[in-house]
Structure 1
Amino acid sequence: MIATIKFEDDEVQVDAAIIGMGLGVDPSVVQPLIREGKIASRHERGEGADAGRLRLTFFLGNRRFQVIVDDAGRIIRRSAVDFGDRALPRALQRPSG
Structure 2
Amino acid sequence: MTEVTIAAGDFTVDASLLAGAFALDQDTVQARMRAGEITSACATGVGEDAGRFQLTFHYQTRALRLIVDESGAVLSKGMEVNGRRRRAAPMGAAGR
SS in 1 for 2:21: helix
Partner SS state of residue 41, structure 1: strand
Q: CA RMSD for the aligned pairs?
A: 1.6
Trace 1:22-61 onto structure 2 (pairs within 5 A). Answer: 22-61=21-60
Shift of 1:3: 4.4
Q: Which runs of 5+ in 2 are unaligned?
A: 85-96
Task: Count how many residue pairs are aligned between Structure 1 and Structure 2.
Answer: 84
**Structure 1 residue runs of 4 or more that deviate by more than 4 Å after TM superposition:** none
Q: In the alignment, is the contact (CA less than 8 A) between 1:3 and 1:17 conserved in 2? A: no
What does the per-residue CA deviation read over 1:19-70, in whole Å, with 9 as the maximum and x for residues that have no partner?
1112222222111101100000000010000000000000001011011001
2-side partners of 1:3 and 1:53: how far apart? Answer: 17
Letter in 2 for 1:42: A
Consecutive unaligned residues of structure 1, counting only runs of 5 or more, are 90-97
- CA–CA distance in 1 between the matches of 2:2 and 2:19? 11
Which structure's residues are more often strand, by fraction?
A: 2
The one-letter code of the counterpart of 1:44 is: A
Contact 1:5–1:12, Cα closer than 8 Å, also in 2: yes
Report the identity percentage.
29
TM-score, structure 1 normalization:
0.79
